[in-house]
Amino acid sequence: MAEVELPVGGKAALSHQGLQALIEALVARGYRVLGPTVRDRAIIYDEIATIDDLPAGWTDRQDAGTYRLERRADKALFGYAVGPQSWKRFLHPPVEQLWQARREGNGFAITGPEKIASKFAFLGVRACELHAIAIQDRVFTQGPYHDTSYQQRRQDNFIVAVNCGEAGGTCFCVSMNAGPKADTGFDLALTELLDGDRHSFLVEVGSVLGGEALAALPHRPATPDESAAADAVVAHTARRMGRQLDTNGIKELLQDNPDHARWDDVAARCLTCANCTMVCPTCFCTTVEDHTDLAGQTAERVRRWDSCFTLDFSYIHGGSVRKENRSRYRQWMTHKLASWIDQFGTSGCVGCGRCITWCPVGIDITVEAAAIRASARGSREAEHGGT
């Protein structure tokens, strides 16, 4: 195959082995390559060395409170939707040391957090996840205070997106304008093309860095048929979304209904387990803990993911502000879909569906929003003499 350098927006065809060459090229450039792999009967993100580490021939079946891996009839490498983890796990880790103090003589030596040793290459980033990363970029790096740890982890990333060929049962990225096609925020974007025994990828260049990386790989110009086939893959996925969310006026809808009876209804089902916030790719709240060892030689301060579903999260001088399940669920959903817009200029939800799949009692943000909309609209119609 001839090597053809491509500009941003250019498209090329890459073979199955070309993808292996991409992984090797990223490792050679000093990246720690992270991608999807199967572990504990789920697709998780971890270090990968070859395409053999990818979840070939697996798909996921998802519904409210349900996640199952199943075998596919083909050998698709990216034939699943999203698993329980997001890239937040690497950019904003669940537990992170802020500093450590070690006893030395009559005093202490303080050391800061460890430097991030390697730069990340993320392989298999979905469109909704690109939007989630952009949201966390805004939260951590574009406000008045910058999170230096996130900035360090985020700099020099190489992102290989994958356009979705399967919509998960709980996905609603189309409603949130966040997928299923990667539109921005990637270096290269792949669409997996399977046609009988032929297995290849259409690659779109998203950055100069991506174009340079692709130029060093065996590739050829994409044919019009391959471009059309890739468009058909994402169009097919968009038509098969598992869920929908009507976002029309949703900020006003939720902010105008803090006493809606549906908050009591959902509170009766919610376990306040915080699963929904742990799996959400945009949730960013943390708490700070101090630990000392039993011998009194070292002490450390760590930052740990926290959640608006815990009682302690809203604890201030003598009590928690949000004592009831109702107020905690309302806080989470209203923040995601409404006050996040006031705070950061976008919705806090990208429609990945993880909070629905991983809720142990199957609470569904799209169903809760629709229920509030249905009765709020009914009451407005009643006020205006409607039926």
**Rule CB under 6 A: which residues touch ligand SF4?**
270-276, 279-282, 309, 336, 349-355, 359-361, 363, 365
Min CB(282)–ligand SF4 separation in Å: 5
Question: CB of 203 within 8 A of CB of 376?
Answer: no
Q: Which is nearer to ligand SF4, 57 or 84 (CB)?
A: 84
Min CB(124)–ligand SF4 separation in Å: 17
Amino acid at 75: K
> Any residues with CB less than 8 A from the CB of 11 and at least 6 apart, and which?
202, 203, 204, 205, 221, 222, 227
Q: Which is nearer to ligand SF4, 288 or 361 (CB)?
A: 361
Q: Which is nearer to ligand SF4, 221 or 345 (CB)?
A: 345
Of 68, 77, 59, 176, nearest in space to 129 by CA: 176
CA distances from 59 to 47, 56, 170, 283 (A): 20, 9, 14, 26
Q: Which is nearer to ligand SF4, 179 or 281 (CB)?
A: 281
Min CB(182)–ligand SF4 separation in Å: 16
The backbone region for 284, taken as left when phi is positive above 0, alpha when psi lies in -120 to 50, beta otherwise, is alpha
The backbone region for 74, taken as left when phi is positive above 0, alpha when psi lies in -120 to 50, beta otherwise, is beta
Q: Which is nearer to ligand SF4, 200 or 347 (CB)?
A: 347
From CA 21, how far away is CA 51, in angstroms rounded?
A: 9
Min CB(6)–ligand SF4 separation in Å: 32
From CA 110, how far away is CA 27, in angstroms rounded?
A: 34
Q: Which is nearer to ligand SF4, 201 or 313 (CB)?
A: 313
Min CB(171)–ligand SF4 separation in Å: 8
Min CB(236)–ligand SF4 separation in Å: 21
| Helix 325-334 and helix 365-383, axial crossing angle in degrees, nearest 10 | 90
Question: CB of 354 within 8 A of CB of 65?
Answer: no
